Amino acid sequence: MRVYTIASGKGGTGKTTIALNVATALATLGKKTLVMDCDVGMANLELLVDFGGHRRTLHDVLAGDAEIDDAIYKGPGGVDIVPGGLSIRGFQKSNPDLLRRVMDDLPGKYDFVIIDAASGLSKEVIVPLALADEVILVVNPEIPSIVDALKTKVIAETAGSRVESAILNRVVGEKTELTRDKISELLEVPILETIPEDANVRKAAAMKIPLVLWKPEAPAARSFKRIAAKLAGERLPEEDVAAARARARAERLISRLMRTVLGTGRKRQGDGRREVP
Ligand SMILES: Nc1ncnc2c1ncn2[C@@H]1O[C@H](COP(=O)(O)OP(=O)(O)O)[C@@H](O)[C@H]1O
Ligand SMILES: [Mg+2]
């Protein structure tokens, strides 16, 4: 079992979106995967995905009122989900230290646990960071996001965790944005993936379906799937490879047609091949 905690210094960088979609993509790769909402008191995983209603949440578990098995729900694509819960009372009662015991019960059941961590510096933040085999930072291409991520990195490392990569989310490509290389240099970690700004992310959230299932070919969905494939140590799923090959074939055909029929398009020089209509 490998535990990844998705963290960032400030809220709104895309942690919950990434946790849900990467976990769902891992599940569709056949990996037994659990995504856990540890953003105690600000629960939002359950707002992004429909899993048929629930009675027990991580709040109940951390308050000692429920077992973890009672708070695990089947999500779309076969991913298991532990919602955080929305009750203020649950938040006040919850004891983050109980999370360690919860995690001890899970090995053997899962290949991957993806923890959606809270932002900030409270105990609710530090425990999930400390429990991770690896912490993945989520940043947006702007200075405040990087500064806050650096603080989170220091906290995670102080808690004894490894921070080995960062995900750069909501990239538009404007000149004012920090570059991938610059961010990697500032954070002193490699960038695992760059996720573009994609309006489909919000549409999928409104439908309460993970984007990787609702629109698997959307630009952001492709990024989520690439992250999952990297975590699983696998190449892209077969259908993606097949689709890429088919596209390349179609592009070759079209440019050949352009050349022969219209006499336009760029001809590769020096390949010695005769133009065949
Ligand atoms: N790549 C993206 N493209 C467009 N919108 C995004 C993207 N990633 C996240 N968002 C939007 O940004 C907001 C914050 O995302 P969320 O996952 O809730 O962040 P966090 O959990 O870090 O607070 C949401 O409205 C979400 O739909
Ligand atoms: Mg969140």
Whether residue 196 is found in the same domain as residue 269: no
CATH of the domain at 73: 3.40.50.300
pLDDT by 10s per residue, the chain, length 277 = 999 999 998 889 999 999 999 999 999 999 999 999 998 666 588 889 988 877 898 988 988 889 999 999 999 999 999 998 865 555 567 787 889 889 988 888 999 999 999 887 777 788 899 999 999 999 999 999 999 999 999 999 998 999 999 999 999 999 999 999 999 999 999 999 999 999 999 999 999 999 999 999 999 999 999 999 999 996 555 656 677 677 777 777 777 777 777 665 454 444 444 444 4
Whether residue 230 is found in the same domain as residue 260: no
Measure 80 CA to ligand 1 centroid, in angstroms: 21
- The total number of structural domains in the chain stands at 2
Indicate if ligand 1 lies below 6 Å from the C-beta of 221: no
Distance CA 215, CA 199 (A): 12
Whether residue 163 is found in the same domain as residue 265: no
Whether residue 199 is found in the same domain as residue 119: yes
Whether residue 211 is found in the same domain as residue 252: no
Measure 233 CA to ligand 1 centroid, in angstroms: 26
Whether residue 229 is found in the same domain as residue 268: no
Residues 6+ apart with CB under 8 A from 68: 61, 82, 102, 105, 106
Whether residue 22 is found in the same domain as residue 147: yes
pLDDT at 252: 75
Supply 78's token pair: 């076969």
The three-state secondary structure class of 163 is: strand
Whether residue 168 is found in the same domain as residue 242: no
The arrangement of strands across the sheet holding 2-7 comes to: 73-74, 80-82, 33-37, 112-116, 2-7, 134-139, 163-171, 191-196
pLDDT at 272: 45
Whether residue 195 is found in the same domain as residue 253: no
Whether residue 154 is found in the same domain as residue 258: no
Distance CA 102, CA 34 (A): 13
State the residue range of the domain holding 216. Answer: 2-236
pLDDT at 17: 97
Whether residue 227 is found in the same domain as residue 246: no
Residues 6+ apart with CB under 8 A from 32: 80, 109, 110, 111, 112
Measured by CA distance, the residue closest to atom 10 of ligand 1 is 14
Residues 6+ apart with CB under 8 A from 255: 265, 266
Whether residue 182 is found in the same domain as residue 263: no
Sequence letter at residue 111: D
